[in-house]
Amino acid sequence: VSIQSTNSNNTTIGITGDDVILTFTPEEPLLTDSIVVTIAGEPTILTQDGDNYIATLTLSGDEPGGILSYTIDFKDRAGNLGIQVISTTDDSYVNHDIIPPEILAVSIFSNNSDTTWAKPGDSVYVKFVANEELDNLNIIISGTSSDYLYDGPVTYSGYHIMDEDDDEGIISFNISYTDLGGETGPDADSTTDESIVRYDRTLPEVFNVRMASNNTMGDSAGIGDIDSVFFTATEAQRNVIVVISDSSLTPVQEGLGFIATRIMNGDDTDGGITFSITLEDSAGNSTGEVTETDDGSGVWFDGTPPLLNPVSFTSTNENDQGLAILGDTLYLDFTSNELLSSLSVFIAGLEADSIENQTRTPYRAWHVLDGSEEEGYIPFQIIFVDLVGNPGDTVVSTTDETSILFDITPPADFEIDTVYVSGGTV
């Protein structure tokens, strides 16, 4: 004894319109008129095929759901009543499915670090749970028929790898399906937890990139000056990295505008200050490294203090340039290794009377001795700053060991002790 349905998906399941076929073979000839077969309590159509009998019932939908019951009553040719048959010999059965399939829970997410966004190459998953096992799944994600994974009892995940052909914006989906018996359930095209995934395949950009310093010379910087990089993004970002002179910085943001700043120090390398900007939008699309300004601006860093060499100190004394008396002029000659923005010279504790070539090198400062100075070796002091504001070490000595001794004390009186005459007549 065996039972099955004509369901095209699964012969152990029957839905409205399917035929349920009960086939049996008696051990001895039967009185055909005595055979009565019911399925689900309803009479069947009985046919014979050789020694086999076939009882058929077309499901109307009024039959009870679940495993269909059946009975076979019969007599042999001698009129003996056989034992009623209510089970198969091969454990076959037909389950009458009267409950349509339904998707109960749906969510969508991506494998992006932010699961609500996707970029090209990301996978988008639509996960759903049904009220029963499903068949004939047709899952459309972003307009493309998608594969799916079976995640366990009545749980499935459709997935699609995003590419340049997919439309930007909120990703759409649709799920059509049947149950194992072929019964169609309502399509699912929205989530039950309000989850969404936005697709973004447009690379972000930065523009209005420029660099400046707070130095009075905006295109130069010295030790302690602040170098700033300004830029604007084309869209919202989830990550931005700015590097100035090998230091990673967090920029200050206002709207889509950014400013990154760095205080320059003595460990930084002299020359043009380098920078890079890398920005990722909300989906993780990157600008790549931006290393050039849009307006050609840049800042030159000078972290090297200026030097004076040679430095020489002489006087106009007629007898010895290393000596001086009242009225002599003292000359302090020196050369800088770079242009200076500030220069102060003091000779004998007084500001120099004048400095030649104040805006270029070499320099000459002088002072005329008027007696207000202290007698002895004349001190001097040179205070100087380069164009970007780096101060040089104050110079108080020469490089050629020259010096000036100021002498305002006349020699002591002397007497002639003895006069000797040699030769001639006195």
Pair 16, 43 in one domain: yes
Q: What is the pLDDT of residue 167?
A: 97
Residue 223 sits in a domain of what CATH number? 2.60.40.1930
At 408 the pLDDT is 85
pLDDT on residue 417:
72
Are residues 316 and 291 part of one domain? no
Residue 89 lies in a domain: yes
- In what order do the strands lie in the sheet containing 70-73? 42-43, 36-39, 70-73
Q: Is residue 171 domain-shared with residue 212, that is, in the same domain? A: no
Instruction: Find out whether the peptide bond into 410 is cis, omega within 30 degrees of 0.
Output: no
Q: What is the CATH number of the domain that holds 76?
A: 2.60.40
Evaluate whether residue 319 is within a structural domain: yes
Torsion sign, CA atoms 300, 301, 305, 310: negative
Q: Considering its fold, how many domains does the chain have in total? A: 4
Query: In sequence order, which residues have a C-beta less than 8 Å from that of residue 171 and are 6 or more positions away?
Result: 108, 118, 124, 141, 142, 196, 197, 198, 199
Q: Is the pTM of this model over 0.85?
A: no
- SS3 of 238-251: the string is EEEEEEECCEEECC
For residue 420, is it within any domain? no
pLDDT for position 357: 72
Does residue 138 sit in the same domain as residue 195?
yes
pLDDT tens track for 176-195: 999 988 899 999 999 999 99
- Please report the pLDDT score of residue 356 as a whole number: 82
Q: Can you give the pLDDT at residue 218? A: 87
Range of the domain at 121: 103-199
User: For the residues of 27-91, what is the DSSP string, one character each?
Assistant: SS-B-GGG-EEEETTEE-EEEEETTEEEEEEE--S-SPSEEPPEEEE-BBTT-PBPPPB-S-SS-
Phi, psi of 34 (to 5 degrees): -90, -10
Positions of the chain with pLDDT under 50:
none
